[in-house]
Structure formats: C-alpha cells, structure tokens
Amino acid sequence: MATVHEPAPTRDVAAIRAGDELDEPALRSWLVEHLPDLEGGMTVMQFPRGSANLTYRVSFGDRHLVVRRPPLGTVAAGAHDMGREHRVLSRLHEAYDRAPRAFLHCSDPAVIGAEFFVSEYRSGYVVWERVPSEVSTDADATRRIGLAVIDALAELHEVDPASCGLQDLGRPDGFLERQVAGWTRRWHAVAEQSNLPDAASTKALVDEVGDRLARTMPRSQTAGIVHNDFKIDNCQFAAGDPDRGASVFDWDMATLGDTLADFGTLLNYWPDHTLPAGDVGAFVAASATRELDLPSRGEVIERYAGTSSYDLSDIGWYEAFGCWRTVVILQQLYARHVRGESPDPRMAQRGEMVRPLARRALALLGGAV
C-alpha cells in the first residue's frame, strides 16, 4: 500500500483548530487494526482552509495518510458523503491519476464521532491567493495554472466511468431536474436561518433564481463523471510544474450526470479581472483565489471548447446554476454558525456572500438585479 512520500510541505497544514479535535487514541487504534503495518507514534495536523468537511493529515513517522470526516453539526441529507467519496477515490485513480487513492471507509460514528475515510497523502501545493514560489516564479505562472485547471477538468470529463468501475455512480437521466429540485429542498431547509437584516428579500431573490433555473433548463448533451465542486483551490500542483494539476480533491458530491454542470461551477468560482469592478458578474464565490490574474472567462470557455464537442451556447445557464448552488452551500455553512454548531469564525462571513452571488446568478439568467 503506497502511502510513504517525501517530507511534506507544511504551509497547508496547521495545529488542529479548537473544536475540531479528534479522538486520537480511538483513531489510532482503528487505523492500526485496519492497517496492521503502521508503527510508531501518531501525530495529527489539520488542513485548515477547507470550509466544510474536516480533513486531517495523520502521520506515523514519515508515513502520511489523510483522514476526512463531515463537518460538525447538522448535515443536509445526502451532503458530505464520506462513503461516496471513498467509493469514488478507491476506483477513479485507475483512470484519472489526479484522483488520490482511498484505502478505507469507517461507517461507525463511535470511533471519532462521525463516519470517515482514509486515503493516500499527496505532497504538493494548493494555489490560493498567489502561486507558491515552489511551483513557479515565472511571470506567466498564474495564467499557466489557470489553463492547467481547465485541462484537468476537461480530462476528467473524457473518462469512461465503466473503465474504473463507476458506471453505476449515479443516474444521468434527469440529472439536471434532480439537481435543481434537490438544491431547492436544501435551500428551503436553511433559508430562514439568518440574522442578517436583508434576510427576507434575500430569500425571495434566491427563490426567484431557483424558479428561473427550473423554467429555462437546457437539454443535457452527454453524461460523464461530475466532480460537483471543481475549482482552483481543489487542485494541487507539484513543485516546479505549473502546467499540470497533479491532484484534485473534494469528491464527496461526485456523481454521473451532465458534465457541463461542472464547467458552470468552475466558471462561478473564476475571477475575471477584465470585468468592471462594479459589475455584478465580478463578484465570484472563490474569495481565496479572487486576486489571481487568471485568463478571462472568454479564454476559459475557448480552452474548454477546444477539448470537447459540446455546444456551449447554454453555458450561461450552467454558470447560473453553479452560482445558485454555491449560494445554497454558503447558506448551509452560515446556518451552522447561526445554530452555534461550528467553531470556525469564517462561517459567520458566509451569509454575507449569499445576496451578491444570488444577484449574479439572476443576471446570468437575464433577470433584473
């Protein structure tokens, strides 16, 4: 079982955040029982920048594993599915080498307080506010990173699910209809959980976007593996190589369906500095990567189109859907703060992003904002 890697860069791991602690003795006992070749003392660090699932680097000497569990508090039905993520990552690596290999899944919440899975650890660098110098110091590194992310998505969409045993991961027929209906239900479950002064008008705005998406839904062209949260900071780059994303993370929502939904999600997270600062379209979901000087949306669409035979004339709908879905996710995270379930202070800020992103989604659908 190949889990030993060179000493890891430490910029993306930190001491465990207060409130996110694990039952380390119980975790160690479980890991040693199921991976009997583990030896020595165990140390645990946290990947602190994720917004939802809690992810940890667990080390036995110079051997590193990743342990991942759902967030604290109430979890929406079907969300943060560790069993699904384990299933995907235990197979997808055979056809898509950017997917880290998963080894184990524990469905017993008695071990650490929630189900979790265990995967290989990959050494590398995630791009946030800037390109790490270890990846590249070239003047065009940011542009190359952006194009590499597009290529990584396009390559995923070319994978035949049957080639890695994932042909039954989801039901492609009716995918968009189920997505819009499902995210509508999730929105209604948390829409009222807000202490912001514009909560009522924001709810009406988000409701309108959902209604428009349902009325103007395009016909899906093809089906493939959908990551469902593909963005720059879910990709990892190896030292010295800004031209190829080495790894892609966060597969707990992966399924089979309309792959353009993935592309729309990526566009929703994509900063485009060619847009005027006051343009509602200039507000993007990915605050961590907002300052990156990436290729424009037009260039992104052209790059993706060059690798596929898709008709992208409806891409605005898919971007609006990705934006609206992100609105619901942000409200779910913010609702955990309102309910007092999350110790992460960033969750209090998630609610402030809901309204501007909903306005952007409405504009993409041709509505007045």
What does the pLDDT look like over 317-352, one tens digit per residue?
999 999 999 999 989 988 888 888 877 778 788 888
Collect the ranges in the chain with pLDDT lower than 70: 1-11, 50-51, 73-79, 276-287, 368-369
* pLDDT value of residue 7: 39
* pLDDT value of residue 287: 61
CA atoms of 147 and 126, how far apart (whole Å) = 15
Angle, helix 199-215 to helix 315-338, in steps of 10 degrees: 150
Q: Where are the alpha helices (DSSP H) in the chain?
A: 24-34, 82-89, 141-157, 175-190, 199-215, 260-268, 297-305, 315-338, 347-364
Q: Which of 310, 319, 313, 305 is nearest to 267 (CA)?
A: 319
End-to-end CA distance of the chain, in Å? 54
Per residue in 340-362, is it b (16+ CB within 10 Å) or e — as a string? eebebeebeebbebbbbbbbbbb
- Taken in order of first residue, the domains within the chain and their CATH numbers are 24-125 (3.30.200.20), 127-364 (3.90.1200.10)
Task: Report pTM.
Answer: 0.87
* pLDDT value of residue 44: 96
Tell me which residue has tokens 């027929």: 173
pLDDT in tens, 220-262: 998 999 999 999 999 999 999 999 999 999 999 999 999 999 9
Residue at 211: amino acid letter:
D
Residue 154 near residue 308, CB atoms below 8 Å: yes
> Token pair of 102, please?
């998963």
Q: How many Cβ atoms are within 10 Å of 80's Cβ, its own excluded?
A: 20
